[in-house]
Amino acid sequence: MYTLRELAAGFQVSERTLTRKLEVGELRGYKVGHQWRVRGRDWLEYTGAVSGPRVFVVANAKGGAGKSTFTTNLAVLRAQQGKRVLLLDLDPQGHLATLLNMSVDPDRTTVQLLNEELRLPRNAPGSRERWHTLWTDLLQSVPGAGEHDALSRILLVPAHNDLADLERANFHRTKPIEYALREALDALGTLGVDVDEVWIDTPPNLGPLTRNALMAAHYVVSPFAKSDLGLDGLERLMILVEQYLEFNPYLRVAGLVMNYGNPRTIMHNEIRDTIRTRPSLAPYLLDTYVSEAERFNQAPRLGLPLVLAEPSSSSTQELRRVLEEVDTRVQ
Ligand SMILES: Nc1ncnc2c1ncn2[C@@H]1O[C@H](COP(=O)(O)OP(=O)(O)OP(=O)(O)O)[C@@H](O)[C@H]1O
Ligand SMILES: [Mg+2]
C-alpha cells in the first residue's frame, strides 16, 4: 500500500498529478480520511510493469552459494529454448562478465543504469529519448554470440566495482532507495526492446542492491550451500521477500535449490530434513539439487558457461531440471 507521498518520491511524479489521475479513475485507489492510498498491484498495473518481461532475481545473503553460476547457466538454458534474455549484474564483484568471458567497459555497466543523476522523471520531456539512449548504450552482446545460437539471444549489462560506491553514497541520498531498477525496467518496457526474460545476479547480502532487485522482480530463485549457516541466510531472505510483497505484490519465491549436493553425506540429508520442518522454507524447496562438481570451477577457463562447455554433463542435466521445476512453479 502506498501513500501519494511515497509514490511521488519513488517515481518522481507530483502528488498533484497523482491526485488528478485518482480523481478521474485513471489510477485506482481509495481514501483513508482525506489521504489517498494506492495498492501495489494497482500501481503496477497502471505503470504497465505487469506486461513487461518476466523478471527473475537470484539471491541469497550468503556468499559462495552459487548465485552467479546459477544466474548465468539458467539464463543460457533459457536462451537455448529460444527466449531472448537480458542479464543484469547487480553485484559489484561483476562475476557475470567473468563467467561470460567478457571484458567490462566501466562506462557501460549497471552503475550507469542505477545512477540517479542520469535518471529523469518518467513523464518529463525528453525522458523517453534519454532512457532510449542509455539502454541502447548499456545493452551488450556477449562473446561467442556468433558461434552459439543461445548466446546470440543474450544481452548483458555487466557490473563494475563502482557499484559498491553507488550503494554507499547515492542510494542513501533520497528515499525510498529501492525503486531505481524498477524504474529502469519500466522504461525498458516502453522502448520496445525485444526481451522475454530478465535474470538478475545479486551480491551476498540483503542491502540496497538486492532490495532493488526484489522491488523489480517477479520471481526469486535462491541457491544455497548445504550448511546450517546457509539456512540462516535463506530465512532472512524469506522474511525480506514477505516484507517486499507490500510494495511488489508480484514477487514470488520460485524455488530454493540446494547446491553442492551429495546425498551420500549426512549433511545433505540433514539440511533437507531441517528445511522440511521450517514453515517459511519448506514449501519452496525444489526436489532437484545441483551436485558438487569440480567442473564448475573449471568452466570459466573454457571461456563459456558450463551448460555450453559441457552440454551433456550431469551438472548441465541438473541445471536443466532446476529450470523445469522452477517453471512448473511459476506457471
Ligand atoms: N555445484 C558446485 N560444485 C562445485 N563448485 C561450485 C558449484 N557451484 C558453484 N561452484 C563454485 O563455487 C564458487 C562460488 O560460486 P558462485 O560464484 O556462483 O557463488 P555466488 O553465490 O555467486 O558467490 P558470491 O556470493 O561471492 O557472489 C565458484 O568458484 C563456482 O565455480
Ligand atoms: Mg556471485
CATH number of the domain that residue 99 is part of: 3.40.50.300
Q: From the CA of 205, which ligand is nearest?
A: 1
Choose the weakest-confidence range: 51-55, 113-117, 200-204, 296-300.
113-117
Whole-angstrom CA distances from 115 to 120, 204, 209, 299 are 11, 21, 12, 32
* Residue whose entry in the numeric block shows the C-alpha cell 522482480: 217
217 and 107 within one domain:
yes
What digits encode the pLDDT tens for the residues 73-96?
Answer: 999 999 999 999 999 999 999 999
Residue 267 banded pLDDT, cuts 50, 70, 90: very high
The ligand 1 atom at the shortest distance from the C-alpha of residue 63 is 25
Q: Which three cell numbers, joined as nine digits, stand for 225?
A: 550451500
- Mean pLDDT score of the chain: 89
Which amino acid makes up residue 217? A
63 and 37 within one domain:
no
Measured in angstroms, how far is the CA atom of residue 38 from the centroid of ligand 1?
41
Q: 93: Cβ below 6 Å to ligand 1?
A: yes
pLDDT at residue 166 is higher than 80: no
Measured in angstroms, how far is the CA atom of residue 48 from the centroid of ligand 2?
31
Q: Using the Cα atoms of residue 97, residue 101, residue 104 and residue 109 in order, give the sign of their dihedral.
A: negative
239 and 132 within one domain:
yes
Measured in angstroms, how far is the CA atom of residue 292 from the centroid of ligand 1?
10
Q: How far apart are CA 199 and CA 88, in angstroms?
A: 6
Measured in angstroms, how far is the CA atom of residue 103 from the centroid of ligand 2?
17
Q: Is the pTM of this model over 0.75?
A: yes
271 and 152 within one domain:
yes
The torsion of the CA quartet 207, 213, 215, 218, rounded to 10 degrees, works out to -140
Q: Which of 295, 296, 302, 322 to mutate to test the pocket of ligand 1 (most atoms within 8 A of CB)?
A: 296
Domain end (from 47, 62, 84)? 47
Q: Which of 58, 60, 68 to mutate to test the pocket of ligand 1 (most atoms within 8 A of CB)?
A: 68
Q: Name the residue among 330, 281, 248 with its Cα closest to residue 78.
A: 330
Measured in angstroms, how far is the CA atom of residue 9 from the centroid of ligand 2?
31
Q: 204: Cβ below 6 Å to ligand 1?
A: yes
Q: How far apart are CA 310 and CA 131, in angstroms?
A: 38
247 φ/ψ angles, rounded to the nearest 5 degrees = -95, -30
Q: Is 237 exposed, middle or buried (0-12, 13-18, 19+ CB in 10 A)?
A: buried
303 and 215 within one domain:
yes
Measured in angstroms, how far is the CA atom of residue 105 from the centroid of ligand 2?
19
* Residue whose entry in the numeric block shows the C-alpha cell 540429508: 269
Q: From the CA of 63, which ligand is nearest?
A: 1
Q: Are 173 and 121 in contact (CB under 8 A)?
A: no
Residues contacting residue 307 through CB under 8 Å, at least 6 positions apart: 73, 76, 77, 80, 316, 319, 320
Q: From the CA of 96, which ligand is nearest?
A: 2
Q: How far apart are CA 185 and CA 113, in angstroms?
A: 10
154 and 127 within one domain:
yes
Measured in angstroms, how far is the CA atom of residue 223 from the centroid of ligand 1?
10
Choose the weakest-confidence range: 115-124, 208-217, 321-330.
115-124
Q: 296: Cβ below 6 Å to ligand 1?
A: yes
- For the chain, the domain total comes to 2
Largest CA distance in the chain: 64
58 and 43 within one domain:
no
152 and 3 within one domain:
no
96 and 33 within one domain:
no
110 and 41 within one domain:
no
Q: 63: Cβ below 6 Å to ligand 1?
A: yes
41 and 141 within one domain:
no
131 and 57 within one domain:
yes
Structural domain harbouring 130: 48-330
pLDDT at residue 175 is higher than 50: no
For the chain, the straight-line distance linking the first and the last C-alpha, in angstroms and rounded, comes to: 26
What digits encode the pLDDT tens for the residues 93-136?
Answer: 999 999 999 999 999 999 999 886 556 666 677 888 888 899 99
Q: 49: Cβ below 6 Å to ligand 1?
A: no
